[in-house]
Structure 1
């Protein structure tokens, strides 16, 4: 059984939803040695998240951002945790709703994603620095 793990830092992204599939794959080329296995991608932050969704039409990512902002608005009068600005607490809530990791099957050395699927970085802060990811691949 193979086990590969790498931690790396993404470049800073503006607020929104960004496809990072190729970036992740470039950081862990050893998955090509795995015939059957899994890749886990984990983000080490509480104000950004990960998900898998549409990788072709960029309007999907715009709609995600619009919906999340409506569902979890800034400047709600009941927020107490606002030390880092009006996007602070909403970013934590969005990250909790979206999740901090994704898991993808590896088949014949490649991610076994659907035709229109990609890994998203969901950046919920207005001025975030680069985010740290841990990717772990394992299998036979």
Structure 2
């Protein structure tokens, strides 16, 4: 049994979904683990991770609008240290989560045909996000 740890950096343009499937797959390919489990972990409290459809851009837009409705910017939040998008970003992160567990078979992530891995940026301003990767297997 082997394991490897790594990290990728993701530049965002502000709020929205950034597909990182290729970057994660490239890292995994370099680790030469054929069968195992990959953990993908977002190292931030105002960004998150999710797996969803990567074929129709409308899915991303609908998800972004839904998150904005569920956790809107508001002056009603006590926590607004970094502006009006601060607390909604934390709430959106709680809703979508910061960690993914993805099976690995044949040296590749076991994803469905239309599934992609996304970093969800919940802040209005661009950021450089760090995503930790860990794979264990053989």
Match of 2:122 in 1: 124
Normalization by structure 1: what TM-score?
Answer: 0.92
Stretches of structure 1 that go unaligned for 5 or more consecutive residues are none
> Among 111, 114, 117, which residue is 1:113 paired with?
111
Cα-to-partner distance string for 1:42-89 (whole Å, 9 max, x where unaligned):
010000000100010011000001001111111142x00011111000
Normalization by structure 2: what TM-score?
Answer: 0.94
DSSP 3-state at the match of 1:114: coil
Cα-to-partner distance string for 1:2-37 (whole Å, 9 max, x where unaligned):
101102321233211121100122233334x22220
DSSP 3-state at the match of 1:10: strand
DSSP 3-state at the match of 1:134: strand
Match of 2:56 in 1: 57
DSSP 3-state at the match of 2:128: coil
Number of residue equivalences: 138
Cα distance in 2, alignment partners of residues 40 and 13 from structure 1 = 25
* Structure 1, 8-17 or 104-113: larger mean CA deviation: 8-17
* 2:37 and 2:135 in contact (8 A); partners too: yes
Match status 1:83 vs 2:81? yes
